[in-house]
Chain A
Amino acid sequence: ELKVEQNPLFLSMQEGKNYTIYCNYSTTSDRLYWYRQDPGKSLESLFVLLSNGAVKQEGRLMASLDTKARLSTLHITAAVHDLSATYFCAVDSTSGTYKYIFGTGTRLKVLA
Chain B
Amino acid sequence: GAVVSQHPSWVICKSGTSVKIECRSLDFQATTMFWYRQFPKQSLMLMATSNEGSKATYEQGVEKDKFLINHASLTLSTLTVTSAHPEDSSFYICSARSPRGSYSNQPQHFGDGTRLSIL
Nearest-neighbour CB distance to chain B for A3, whole angstroms, equals 11
Given that A99-B34, A99-B49 are contacting pairs, would A45 and B43 also be in contact in the complex, using a CB cutoff of 8 Å?
no
Main secondary structure of the interface of B (DSSP, over half): strand
A 72-112 contacts with B by CB, 8 A: 88, 92, 97-105, 107
Chain B: residues with Cβ within 8 Å of the partner, total of: 24
A45 to B98 Cα, complex, angstroms: 14
With an 8 A cutoff between CB atoms, is B46 at the interface? yes
Nearest-neighbour CB distance to chain A for B100, whole angstroms, equals 9
Check A103–B108 contact: CB distance below 8 A.
Answer: no
Given that A88-B43, A102-B43, A105-B42 are contacting pairs, would A97 and B32 also be in contact in the complex, using a CB cutoff of 8 Å?
yes
Check B107–A98 contact: CB distance below 8 A.
Answer: yes
With an 8 A cutoff between CB atoms, is B97 at the interface? yes
Listed in ascending order, the chain B residues whose CB lies under 8 Å from chain A are: 6, 32, 34, 41-46, 49, 57, 93, 95, 97, 104-108, 110-113, 115
